[in-house]
Structure 1
Amino acid sequence: MKTRITELLGIRYPIIQGGMQWVGTAELASAVSNAGGLGVLTALTQPDPQALAREIDRCRGMTDQPFGVNLTILPSVKPPPYAEYLDVVIERGVKVVETAGNSPKAFIEKLKRHGVRIVHKCTSVRHALSAERNGVDAVSIDGFECAGHPGEDDVAGLVLIPLATRALRIPVVASGGIADGRGMAAAMALGAEGVNMGTRFCATQEAPIHERIKQALVGASERDTQLIFRTLHNTGRVLKNAVSDEVVATERRPGGCEFSDIQPLVAGARGRQALSSGEVDAGLVWAGQVVGLIDDIPSCADLLQRMVAECRASLAQALAACGEDTRTGRPVVCAQ
């Protein structure tokens, strides 16, 4: 499959594994890259830049295909050394960075000077336009269905994707709500030139999380996620469990809540423990509404091959439904 995204990133299929805290390790990233997509290491999963350097080396030992590094830039009283993490990316010769959170403007010039491609994840067209003006190479547009932080506009992908592709000149990657080739075909019909998946890649054989968590994703329906941090204007979508129920109940108390009231519940260490122990109720498990479309745990290679075949079949079926011009044999917009 050939789009501006495959050309930009040097990959066979326009499928990106999004950065995910505690999940974006060499095991998963290398498997996605070997399967023809773009695997992505999550920088802040590593405790420091030196550990990221070791993880990059480890990933390179597992694949000779391109892979990227995600860096999520968030406001913090004591922020991580973002510049040092990116220095490691440059020094280790990684040529793709996925940024998310705040604007990567401060780092763009240096990354581009060293030939690094930048894909910035946004949840609104206005932020995507700002990223384009700042010089990123592509935008990953994240719809309201997604896991993680969907922003505060609550616009789903069916509307957000065509809005973004209409407004931007750079390539758009569709993110959120995609788990199979039908979703990929829909995204491309809406103008996207690639897809980004997180939750779907969590339910693969190579994902470094406990089998019980993977089975919980398979068993969940599209109604089994919920939104947290709504009252704090930092909305996040997670799998429904005892912890997320308690967070939502605390937020709904008369008088509301402060972040300090729920901080012990949402601590990253608890989420990591849940993923590694398989205890679904041990911490937050981030997941999108796309869990309703997940019903197996394939290898990354099998998943991508299946997705590409489904995508091609879905697009061909849509073209066939349009009919043909009897004079040229070419598809027409609408059959009479």
Structure 2
Amino acid sequence: MAIKTRFTELFGVEHPIAQGGMQWVGKAELVSAVANAGALGFLTALTQPTPEALSKEIARTREMTDKPFGVNLTILPAMTPPPYAEYRAAIIESGIKIVETAGYKPQEHVDHAADKVKIPMLASGGIADARGLVAALALGADGVNMGTRFCVTQEAPIPMAFKEQMVANDERQTDLIFRTLHNTARVMRNAVSQEVVQIERAGGAKFEDVAHLVAGTRGRDALAQGDTDGGIWSAGMVQGLIHDIPTVKDLVDGMVAEAEALIRGRLAGMVA
């Protein structure tokens, strides 16, 4: 049994699972592994230092897979905004047909989206296993998007120390930062995130007060050094559902097989 949805049909993938854009993680190694496993992977455009480097990373990914993949271009507040137009041009000129974007506030919020939106819709956030996939499909989604779960795979291009920390963490080991700055983000709890929380909790904090702690370059350096307490690292409460570090193929195949078993077995058995 294969799980076919509007998402799998539109994007030409085998499974209704996507790996969203993830800073410092969405590189060719992971994206090609996701694509080869039958899911939809996304390169993270701004992980690449220049638009030219993005073009090369797209080409490198194509050398590793002949399956569909996309590129994520997230637009967020930054101390030094990147050249978005040039990154867009690199995506277009490379012939990428699937683009994911995030960060810009929608002009209108649509309630009951499954009843109103007529295009395929993915559920995202807090999903790491077959139960989450089946639940999302039951709620009207055409598939799921996972971030943290794909970070904790063999192919994810991050140090094993970060993967092992997320496996060891439970759902309580995250912090919400930037709440007082009206740009809330959830990150893995560590020494730096706790310091940011304390500064904000004191009241009257401005971004300049925490900029040295949350700078992207600091997080990148911590990642390169395998220092889990060296900078800010995005991670969800879904850490509590992650107990291993599988290959991407084993993760995707296992999720789909278990989802099929749940649908055929437990759920089908509820219908008289």
> TM-score normalized by structure 1?
0.77
Output the CA distance in 2 between the equivalents of 1:304 and 1:297: 12
The one-letter code matched in structure 1 to 2:103 is G
Output the CA distance in 1 between the equivalents of 2:183 and 2:266: 38
Where 2:64 maps in the other structure, the secondary structure is coil
2:230 paired residue among 282, 285, 293: 282
Number of equivalent positions: 270
C-alpha RMSD of the superposition? 1.6
Q: Structure 1 residues 77, 239: closer, same or farther in 2, change over 3 A?
A: closer
1:302 paired residue among 250, 254, 257: 250
Q: Structure 1 residues 301, 2: closer, same or farther in 2, change over 3 A?
A: same
1:241 paired residue among 181, 190, 215: 190
- Which residue is 1:269 aligned to? 217
Q: Structure 1 residues 242, 171: closer, same or farther in 2, change over 3 A?
A: same
- Which residue is 1:170 aligned to? 119
Output the CA distance in 2 between the equivalents of 1:286 and 1:185: 25
Q: Structure 1 residues 77, 200: closer, same or farther in 2, change over 3 A?
A: closer
Report the identity percentage. Answer: 61
Q: Structure 1 residues 230, 313: closer, same or farther in 2, change over 3 A?
A: same
1:101 aligns with 2:103: yes
1:250 paired residue among 199, 212, 215: 199
1:11 paired residue among 10, 13, 35: 13
Output the CA distance in 1 between the equivalents of 2:167 and 2:207: 31
- Which residue is 2:91 aligned to? 89
How far 1:54 moved relative to its partner?
A: 0.4
1:193 aligns with 2:195: no
Q: Structure 1 residues 209, 76: closer, same or farther in 2, change over 3 A?
A: closer
Deviation per residue, 1:207-250 (Å, 9 max, x gap): 00000100001000011111010001100000110000000000
* Residue segments in structure 1 that go unaligned for 5+ positions in a row: 104-121, 130-159, 325-336
1:217 aligns with 2:166: yes
How far 1:75 moved relative to its partner?
A: 4.2
Output the CA distance in 1 between the equivalents of 2:239 and 2:78: 31
The one-letter code matched in structure 2 to 1:71 is L
How far 1:7 moved relative to its partner?
A: 1.4
* Residue segments in structure 2 that go unaligned for 5+ positions in a row: none
How far 1:77 moved relative to its partner?
A: 7.0
Output the CA distance in 1 between the equivalents of 2:10 and 2:248: 22
How far 1:290 moved relative to its partner?
A: 0.4
The one-letter code matched in structure 2 to 1:59 is T
- Which residue is 1:229 aligned to? 178
Q: Structure 1 residues 316, 126: closer, same or farther in 2, change over 3 A?
A: farther
Q: Structure 1 residues 98, 46: closer, same or farther in 2, change over 3 A?
A: same
Output the CA distance in 2 between the equivalents of 1:288 and 1:22: 16
> Displaced runs of 4+ in structure 1, greater than 6 A?
none
The one-letter code matched in structure 1 to 2:205 is C
Output the CA distance in 2 between the equivalents of 1:126 and 1:230: 22
Where 2:167 maps in the other structure, the secondary structure is helix
The one-letter code matched in structure 2 to 1:81 is P
> TM-score normalized by structure 2?
0.95
How far 1:83 moved relative to its partner?
A: 2.1
Output the CA distance in 2 between the equivalents of 1:188 and 1:277: 39
